[in-house]
Each structure stands twice: as C-alpha cells, then as structure tokens.
Amino acid sequence: MEDEPGQCPTRPEVVKTCPCGSKSVETLLKGHQRTSCTDPIPVCGGLCKKAMNCGHRCMQKCHVGECAPCKTSVMIECRCGSTSVQRVCSDMVLYGNKEPKCEKPCGGLRSCGKHQCTTRCCPAKKNQSKGLKKEAAAHEAHACTLVCGKKLKCGVHTCEMPCHKGHCNPCLSK
C-alpha cells in the first residue's frame, strides 16, 4: 500500500510487521493491534538483515529508522596489488573509496625497456601482474622520463628525446 501525500507512514493499517518484516505486529503485541500512528512499532529482537547500499546486510537487532553505518570487515588491495589491508566497510566512504597505498617500489620496466620504475605502489604494476592489456594510464605511469643521451650517427651530438626503444632520430645539425 503506497502512502498518500499528507498521510502518516506509520499508520496501523500500513505497518503490519516489525521493521525487519519477520514477525507481525499482532504477534509481537500478543494479539493486540496498534491503534494510532504514534503507538511505538514493536521490534522482534532478531537481526535486521536489510540490504545496505554497500551490498552487505545490516547485522543490528531489528530496529526502527535508518540502519547504522556498515561495520563489516573487508580486505582491500593496495593500488599495485602487492599487499592488502583490513578496513571497516563504512570507513571506505571516509577514505573516498580510494585504494590504499603501500611502500613497495614497482620495479617494472618503463616504456623504454631499459629503466625500472621506482614509483611506490605503482598502479601500472597491478595491470601487469594480472596480465591486463596496458591501459593509457598504465602506459603513462611507466613512461620513461629520462633523456636518451645516445650519441647520434654524426658522432658529435646526443639524442635529446625521452629515453625510447629503437633507433634515434637523425642529427638535424650541419
């Protein structure tokens, strides 16, 4: 039965069970009924078990009103996937649902294929370890920022491009 505008949602003809829905009001009040919307809604003492926004179920005793923040313990991988930490589900909202960071250096090869990535808790490492295709962000995270520095074919100048695979561009000086 849907509430009509201006009608109290706790009217006796609307509320027929305890808040968790497992027992009838009549059973809980031993054969009696609520007569007014201001009469307390009885609770059964069992677990609420309502589905929460996070996907877990409320594990409080049957209660009137909103469920408390979720206290389920969850394991969360750091952003590189090398370690996990235990957190309380509702705390994840406080952390902005961000993956935690560890202190482990990446060690993966940068885009040049010569230098190692030294970023701590590198998000590109998680993609590599799971065998995922390199995404743009992963490739960007492993882009080599060092200057190539190889002697060009002219024998005088050095390559000024970022460190790269393959041959250097030809010398443009005369």
User: Tokens 């065998």 correspond to what residue?
Assistant: 131
Q: The pTM is what?
A: 0.57
**pLDDT in the model for residue 41:** 96
What is the DSSP annotation of 76-106? EE-TTSS-EEEEETTHHHHTTTPPP----B-
Closest CA to 79 of 144, 146, 136, 137: 137
- Residue 131 confidence (pLDDT) above 80: no
Check pLDDT > 80 for residue 135.
no
pLDDT digits (tens, 9 = 90+) for 7-32: 899 999 999 999 999 999 999 999 99
Q: What is the pLDDT of residue 141?
A: 66
Q: What is the pLDDT of residue 20?
A: 95
Least-confidence region, from 30-44, 64-78, 119-133, 140-154: 119-133
pLDDT level of residue 138 (50, 70, 90 thresholds): low
Query: What residues does each domain of the chain span?
Result: 1-65, 73-141, 145-174
Instruction: Give the amino acid at 163.
Output: C
| pLDDT value for 1 | 46
